[in-house]
């Protein structure tokens, strides 16, 4: 609650509840720690920016910013390689969503007064490479290819879910309420996509794939 003062400083919202919660006496250590920083707003912001947790948060944002951009290209290839219309459409829809994720991340960078930069994410590169291997090693037009592509895509979603889930929680802890809302919105879309992919696999793909020689 005391961290709300950071929000007022950076010009973000999230101050509505702050005014009603300043009278607490239960979280005394946190409250007194923050009170000192309210006295000197500039020092407060500098302190925040040089804190190890803030640095990690920014670095992780750069990592997922790289990942989202790489995923846009990967989804294009997966869409072209997919056999069924249902899967092609799912990849197309999620590619559009992924473009929104990129612009949401740019807003998050802005909200915390940092520049949007990409930092190479080895994990997503590896997961995407696995998807490319699947395209090479499965027959074009086969349902087996779709079954395998779905799993490859779900590995991407799970990487994103882990990242956005953790970053949204950190944003809340650090008082970046608006940034947390944006990260949670993306998290929800990644979770929905993961669920939809399972539905597609079970409804249209897996049974037919099992029949293939
Ligand atoms: Fe995404
Ligand atoms: Fe995604």
Q: CB atoms < 10 A from the CB of 171, how many?
A: 23
Query: What's this model's pTM, rounded to 2 decimal places?
Result: 0.79
Taking only the tens place, the pLDDT of each residue in 109-161 is: 999 999 999 999 999 999 999 999 999 999 999 999 999 999 999 999 999 99
Q: Does 28 share its domain with 69?
A: no
Whether the CB-CB separation of 149 and 134 falls below 8 Å is answered with yes
The predicted pLDDT at position 23 comes to 38
Q: Say whether pLDDT at 167 is over 70.
A: yes
pLDDT of residue 44: 72
Q: Are 165 and 105 members of one domain? A: yes
Asked whether residue 12 falls in the same domain as residue 108, the answer is no
Which domain does 174 fall in, by range?
Answer: 44-211
CA 126 to ligand 1 center in whole angstroms: 16
What is the CA(194)–ligand 2 centre distance, in A? 8
Indicate if 10 and 106 belong to the same structural domain: no
CA of 31 to the centre of ligand 2 (A): 38
- Together in a domain, 144 and 184: yes
Is the same domain home to 112 and 7?
no
Residues 89-112 have a mean pLDDT of: 98
The verdict on 113 and 188 lying in the same domain is: yes
Q: Is 25's pLDDT higher than 90?
A: no
Q: Residue 104 and residue 100: Cα distance in Å, rounded?
A: 6
pLDDT given for residue 41 in this prediction: 53
Under the banding of pLDDT at 50, 70 and 90, the label for residue 1 is very low
pLDDT, one tens digit per residue, over 29-69 is 444 444 444 445 555 777 778 899 999 999 999 999 999 99
Helix, strand or coil, per DSSP, at residue 5? helix
User: How many angstroms does the Cα of residue 156 sit away from the middle of ligand 2?
Assistant: 6
Q: Find the angle CA(139)-CA(84)-CA(206) to the nearest 5 degrees.
A: 75
Percent of the chain with pLDDT over 90: 76
Task: Give the distance (Å) from ligand 2 centre to CA of residue 87.
Answer: 14
Residues 127 and 57 in one domain: yes
Cα–Cα distance, 175 to 194 (Å, whole number): 29
Same-domain check for residues 106 and 7: no
Provide the greatest CA pair distance for the chain. Answer: 73
Q: Which of 17-21, 78-82, 98-102 has the lowest mean pLDDT?
A: 17-21
Pair 193, 110 in one domain:
yes
- 140 secondary structure, DSSP code: T
108 token code pair: 């998050």
- The count of structural domains within the chain is 2
The enclosing H or E element of 134 equals: helix 122-137
For residues 188-204, average pLDDT: 98
Question: In this structure, are 133 and 176 located in the same domain?
Answer: yes
């Amino acid at each position: 609650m005391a961290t709300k003062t950071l929000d007022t400083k950076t010009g973000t919202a999230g101050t509505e509840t702050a005014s009603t919660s300043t009278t607490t006496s239960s979280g005394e250590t946190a409250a007194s720690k923050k009170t000192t920083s309210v006295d000197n707003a500039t020092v407060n912001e500098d302190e925040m920016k040089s804190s190890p947790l803030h640095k990690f948060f920014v670095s992780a944002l750069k990592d997922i910013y790289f990942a989202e951009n790489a995923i846009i290209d990967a989804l294009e290839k997966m869409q072209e390689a997919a056999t069924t219309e249902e899967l092609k459409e799912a990849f197309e829809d999620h590619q559009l969503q992924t473009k929104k994720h990129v612009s949401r991340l740019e807003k998050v960078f802005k909200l915390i007064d940092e520049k949007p930069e990409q930092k190479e994410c080895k994990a997503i590169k590896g997961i995407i490479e696995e998807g490319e291997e699947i395209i090479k090693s499965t027959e074009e037009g086969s349902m087996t290819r779709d079954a395998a592509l779905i799993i490859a895509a779900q590995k991407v979603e799970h990487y994103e879910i882990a990242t956005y889930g953790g970053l949204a929680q950190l944003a809340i802890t650090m008082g970046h309420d608006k940034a947390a809302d944006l990260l949670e919105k993306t998290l929800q879309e990644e979770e929905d996509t993961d669920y939809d992919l399972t539905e597609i696999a079970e409804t249209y793909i897996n049974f037919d794939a099992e029949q293939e020689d």
